[in-house]
Amino acid sequence: MKRVHPDDRGLAAVARVRGVREQDSRIGLRIAAADAAAKDAESARLHTQLATAEVPALATPGQLVARRTSLALLGGDTQVARERAGAAARITAEARAHWTADRAREAAVEHLLEQRAERRRTERARRAAAEADDLAAQAWLRRRTEGLVTVAGRPPRPPQSKEDES
């Protein structure tokens, strides 16, 4: 499990909840999509069966009435299957909208956590740079007081003797 900064414990808990909700809605979307696909397949199967149904050329009136009745029932079943497929498609669209919203909420919380972590990294780097600058300034001051460095940052010139002046 990822380590959480103490200041981010509350937001990390929100992220975990958002993650679970996103996962649940993704599973719901998969189930809805599978159900819609099955209902579409059933509707297509019934439609094909109705479209390819043959009426015998030679048949008794009783056979024709029975065939007409069976085709009417098949047509009704096809209509019901088409309506169920439409309802399943609407449910899938709604499940997709829920999943998209849950995913966006989870991403927003994750983004907030990343921003906080980045701010902490930037602040640490700023403090480290300030500390390094202070240490460099102290070292420079120490060398200057020891006479090793002049104000311009160059080594001091050795003192000239009066003999050199002539």
pLDDT at 5: 85
For the ranges 6-10, 91-95, 103-107, which has the lowest average pLDDT? 6-10
Asked if the structure places residue 156 within a domain, the reply is: no
Give residue 159's identity as a one-letter amino acid code. P
Q: Is the pLDDT of residue 40 over 60?
A: yes
Q: What is the pLDDT of residue 144?
A: 79
| Residue 96 to residue 28: CA distance in whole angstroms | 9
Q: Is the pLDDT of residue 17 over 80?
A: yes
Q: Under a CB-based contact definition with an 8 Å cutoff, are residues 104 and 19 in contact?
A: no
What pLDDT, on the 0 to 100 scale, is given for residue 56? 81
Residue 163 lies in a domain: no
State yes or no: pLDDT of 81 exceeds 90.
yes
Whether residue 154 lies inside any domain: the answer is no
Does 157 have pLDDT greater than 80? no
155 belongs to a structural domain: no
Confidence of residue 104 (pLDDT cuts 50, 70, 90): very high
In the chain, the number of structural domains is 1
Residue 165 has pLDDT above 60, yes or no: no
- Cβ atoms of 43 and 82 within 8 Å: the answer is yes
Tokens of 137: 């300034």
Residue 18 included in any domain: yes
What is the residue range of 105's domain?
Answer: 7-148
pLDDT at 34 over 70: yes
Summarize the confidence of residues 77-100 as an average pLDDT: 98
In terms of Cβ atoms closer than 10 Å to its own Cβ (0-12, 13-18, 19+), residue 76 is exposed
Q: Does residue 159 lie within any of the structural domains?
A: no
Domain annotation covers residue 75: yes
- Does 41 map to a domain? yes
- Examine the pLDDT at 6 and tell me if it is beyond 70: yes
Q: At 50, list the tokens.
A: 């109705």
pLDDT on residue 39:
98
What's the DSSP call for residue 152?
T
Listed in sequence order, the DSSP H helices in the chain are: 9-51, 61-145, 162-165
